[in-house]
Amino acid sequence: MIVAGRAWSQFTLGDVLLLRDFLEMRRAVEVGTAARFGATLLGGVMLLAWFESPAQSQTSQGANSLPPVTVDAPTQQTIHRTPSKRDASRVRSTSRRVTAPGALQAEAVAAQSQPSRSGVVPAFAGGQVAQGARLGLLGNTGTMKSPFNVTSYTDKFIRDQQAATGADALILDPSVRSSHPTGGVLDSFYIRGFPVNEGNNGEFAFEGLYGIAPTYRIFTDYVERIEVLKGPSAALSGIAPNGGVGGVINVVPKRAGEDLTRFTVDYGSAARFGGHWDVARRYGDSKEWGVRASGSLRDGDTPIDRQSETTGVGSLALDYQGERYRSWLYLIAQTDRFDAPSRPFLMAAGVPVPKAPDGRLNVTQPWEWSRINDQSVLWRNEYDVTDQVTLFADVGGSRTNVERFFGLPTITNTRGDTTSTPQFFGLSIDRHTYDGGVRARFDTGFVRHAVTFQASVYHDELYRRLTNGTLVTSNIYSPTVAPTQFANEIAGRPRLSDSQLTGLSIADTLSVLDERVLLTLGVRRQGVEANNYVSNVGTLANSYDKSATTPVVGLVVRPRDNVSLYANYIEGLSKGDIAPQQTGVSNGGEILPPYIAKQYEAGVKVDFGRVATTFSAFEISKASGETLAGRFGATAETQVRGLEFNVFGELRPDVRVLGGVSLLDGTLTKSAITSRVGNTPIGVPNVQANVGAEWDLPWA
């Protein structure tokens, strides 16, 4: 058992930090203020960065290097390994290089930059955010060498936050907002004003791959890092299964590093108890075999009226790391059971949004319930053909079984009255993913190349049965308890849909001047095949077979070791909508071509030694479908422009800070219905802000 050696105190201030008079400004004033704020902030950051000593910077300098870390925490036990012939040659090569004047510091940085046996890059000062993250096709990339805005939250931060789910862990990211109520069965988000993981196909990436992570919720028991790549990323990660283009949330799983034995007991909410275990060991003469097992069990009442939740999680990570061959196997099983789960409210047409009720109140009936079970597996393999060429191949999948009986409450008037029809929902989701390719490094003259070629296949199948109960009425301010109803399940689950996403992609990162300038070029050819079936019947309703090509261009310029200027153009891809089969729509059932989202972004990253900042400006536009004159077509377009500022690090060894602000301007820029042009899209506020601080109490 490990007992915490430090007490810590943390406060989280969200949007309440915003000035009242700022929020009362008109949108035109807000946009002008945002621009002035951004220009002033950018100038100040650049000025400070220019006079910052490079010796204080923690920025990487080697070809694959990431900066050394200064973190006031217990040091991890080093695993001693007998050098192989290949390792020995590297040591000899390093010895020759470090004799050169001024090269000693660079080599020390490079030696500490490589991911550890746990598979993650080092953390930045304070231990809350990592110095790099996975960029899909491009693999692990240092923050200062990345042409994108990406944040990787560490296991230390997750544990200090006592974050049980992925939504809990992302609460301090100013670009991310959870769009599902607390106490619900789904973790869904808005990133940069666009929805992510809103659907039944699951859009959490796992080790950079879709189709592995549990469908609806991520529990942090098996999470080493949660990475957020902001903006579209079709060329890097492929098309998201639900079509999300706001960003990618990637789960980096735990694996064995140093030996570890940890057991935690917790109590929270009204009467909810739980326990968590985490055990890691390495075996073999050179510690080439690794095992890590973790999991938890929690049960009890939540703070929401009449609601209780039971969760069980188990995970196992096995790995082998030889001289040239490396392999990892991940197994995850989790169950999530709710009584009276929270559900988002729908609004009847023409009804203004009423005042929010007390967050403890629950209109879901005590006899409504949800049961979700997930199983996941991933097998990863890498083989070094030479020191410069690596082959890789991955195979995995997941299965989700859902049984639930509840309704979606609809607010019918300004008094807060609701109606809801409970529905039995039996759903099975099977997903499989395969990918393989090659990574190579080589030089052409003074230009260094890092090339990756990848082929991938993702496949999913959904089976569903629906049956309805009896209408229930209630009120959001004074919920009522209706007579108990029971689920009326019918045997069998007809096929609802299936889809297959295929991709061929290639990317090259070209660097010159000792990686002072890096240019990333890439392209993916994405195929989308989908079939939709009549609900509760299973006969084919419509089919879809489309393809599209999405590029990526990224540029990084590093005028100083601790300053990084970046810009990118990248596209996102979503399956086109299906025209509704209803009265008044002449092309019902027609499938529109894939929607392409386009992002332009530029920004600056500055490493001040113990504190780092990122400032970025972006514009994302995405088409959508609408009905006009009896025909459904992709004639609408949403555009979101924004300014983002992030800060993280430690102000002193016992004080850490993390947060930022995001200023957004969302507009419906195109529509066949003129009156809609200029409206603000749903889910795009003008301002999002977060700040969190941690202080280690000196007497504990």
Q: 512-538 burial, b for 16+ CB within 10 Å, e for fewer?
A: eeebeebbbebebebebebbbbeeeeb
CB-CB contact of 265 with 275 (8 Å) = yes
Q: Is the pLDDT of residue 73 over 50?
A: no
Residue 119 has what pLDDT? 67
Structure tokens at 515: 């990686």
Question: How many residues are recorded in the chain?
Answer: 700
In sequence order, which residues have a C-beta less than 8 Å from that of residue 134 and are 6 or more positions away? 140, 141, 207, 208, 227, 250, 252
Q: 60-69 burial, b for 16+ CB within 10 Å, e for fewer?
A: bbbebbbbbb
- Tell me the pLDDT tens digit for each residue of 199-221: 888 899 999 999 999 999 999 99
Percent of the chain topping pLDDT 70: 83
Residue 184 has what pLDDT? 85
Comparison of pLDDT for 570 and 12, the residue scoring more: 570
- 3-class DSSP assignment, residue 500: strand
Q: Is the pLDDT of residue 551 over 60?
A: yes
Residue 27 has what pLDDT? 42
Residue 408 has what pLDDT? 92
Residue 80: band (very low, low, confident or very high) from pLDDT cuts 50, 70, 90: very low
Strand partners, 25: none
Q: Is 565 exposed, middle or buried (0-12, 13-18, 19+ CB in 10 A)?
A: middle
- 3-class DSSP assignment, residue 149: coil
Question: What is the C-alpha separation between 298 and 314, in angstroms, rounded?
Answer: 12
Q: 95-134 burial, b for 16+ CB within 10 Å, e for fewer?
A: eeeeeeeeeeebbebbebbeeebbbbbbbbbbbbbbbbbb
- 3-class DSSP assignment, residue 588: coil
CATH 2.40.170.20 fits 260-695, yes or no: yes
Q: Is 378 exposed, middle or buried (0-12, 13-18, 19+ CB in 10 A)?
A: buried
Element (H, E) at 38: helix 27-51
Question: What is the C-alpha separation between 272 and 308, in angstroms, rounded?
Answer: 8
pTM (2 d.p.): 0.82
Domain ranges of the chain: 132-253, 260-695
Scanning the structure block, which residue is given the tokens 């699951």? Answer: 202
CB-CB contact of 528 with 575 (8 Å) = yes
Residue 458 has what pLDDT? 96
Q: Is the pLDDT of residue 540 over 70?
A: yes
Tell me how far CA of residue 451 lies from CA of 137, 148, 416, 506, 523, in angstroms.
10, 18, 58, 7, 12
Residue 579 has what pLDDT? 81
Q: Averaged over 20-28, what is the pLDDT? A: 41
CATH 2.40.50.100 fits 132-253, yes or no: no
Comparison of pLDDT for 156 and 98, the residue scoring more: 156
- Tell me the pLDDT tens digit for each residue of 459-513: 999 999 999 999 999 999 999 999 999 987 788 899 999 999 999 999 999 999 9
Residue 183: band (very low, low, confident or very high) from pLDDT cuts 50, 70, 90: confident
DSSP string, 269-286: TTEEEEEEEEEEEEESTT
Residue 692: band (very low, low, confident or very high) from pLDDT cuts 50, 70, 90: very high
Q: Is the pLDDT of residue 415 over 70?
A: yes
Scanning the structure block, which residue is given the tokens 């990345």? Answer: 146
- Tell me the pLDDT tens digit for each residue of 214-250: 999 999 999 999 999 999 999 999 999 988 999 999 9
Establish how many alpha carbons lie within 13 A of residue 270's alpha carbon, considering only the half-sphere containing its beta carbon.
12
CB-CB contact of 338 with 369 (8 Å) = yes
Question: What is the C-alpha separation between 564 and 178, in angstroms, rounded?
Answer: 30
Q: Averaged over 272-284, what is the pLDDT? A: 93
Over its C-alpha atoms, the chain yields an Rg (Å, rounded) of 26
Q: Is the pLDDT of residue 52 over 60?
A: no
Question: What is the C-alpha separation between 164 and 302, in angstroms, rounded?
Answer: 13
Measured distance between the N- and C-terminal CA atoms of the chain, rounded to whole angstroms: 18
Q: What is the rounded average pLDDT for all residues in the chain?
A: 84
Taken in order 198, 532, 205, 337, is the CA torsion positive or negative? Answer: positive
Percent of the chain topping pLDDT 90: 66
DSSP string, 75-125: PPPPPP----HHHHHHHHHHHHHHTSTTHHHHHHHHHTTS--TTS-PPBPT
Question: What is the C-alpha separation between 250 and 70, in angstroms, rounded?
Answer: 26
Residue 117 has what pLDDT? 59
